Amino acid sequence: MKLLKHIAAGIAAITILSSCSLLTGTASNATTSGSSTGSALAALYNIFKTTGGIDLSNLTNLINLGQILGNIGGLGNATASFTDQFSAGLIEGSANLVNKNNVASVLSGLKTLANIDTSAITSAASAAATGAPSALTSNSAGVSTTLSSLTSIFNALQ
């Protein structure tokens, strides 16, 4: 049963990583990127609310974080049109956890997150897709800054 769980998680990770373009850089369009980000953000937020933190040794959390990081790269130099489409996708993907009242704060937090060196996290997320355990610690490059940025985003959602 445990092996089946790991195989299913690995297949899900590969599917997510392929669909969110973590391995190739950017997602195919702003709405899709926003929707994928919103879905992963909502999942992490629910875990954060339940547990009070984000455990990056947990495969699901790592995959969700990888999904977010893989989709926000286009926000740095985004046009108004890209940002509007990304925002619409973000709202839809998060099932309205992100809404018209907090979308500007969430976007600001995601733009901050996009400027952090998260290479250690994205490498761990890619490795997790093959079933490798996470070796991330709070001392890994970018981890504490990333978690701090996520906490700021989560605060905007409350």
H, E, C per residue of the chain: CHHHHHHHHHHHHHHHHHHCCCCCCCCCCHHHHHHHHHHHHHHHHHHHHHHCCCCCCCHHHHHHHHHHHHHCHHHCCCCHHHHHHHHHHHHHHCCCCCCCCCHHHHHHHHHHHHCCCCHHHHHHHHHHCCCCCCCCCCCCCCHHHHHHHHHHHHHHHC
Q: How many CB atoms lie within 10 A of CB 43?
A: 19
Q: Which residues of 53-67 are buried (b: 16+ CB within 10 A; e: fewer)?
A: ebebeebebbbbbbb
Looking at the structure of the chain, the number of domains it has is 1
103-114 vs 80-93: helix crossing angle, rounded to 10: 110
State the Cα–Cα distance between residues 94 and 87, nearest whole angstrom.
10
Q: What is the pLDDT along the chain (158 residues), one digit of tens a residue?
A: 443 344 444 444 444 444 444 433 344 589 999 999 999 999 999 999 999 888 887 888 888 998 999 899 888 888 999 999 999 999 999 999 999 999 999 999 999 988 888 888 878 777 777 777 666 666 666 788 888 889 899 999 87
Q: Which residue has the tokens 């909502």?
A: 42
Domain region containing 75? 2-157
Q: Which of 81, 85, 77, 64 lies closest to 146 in space, CA to CA? A: 64
pLDDT score, position 118: 82
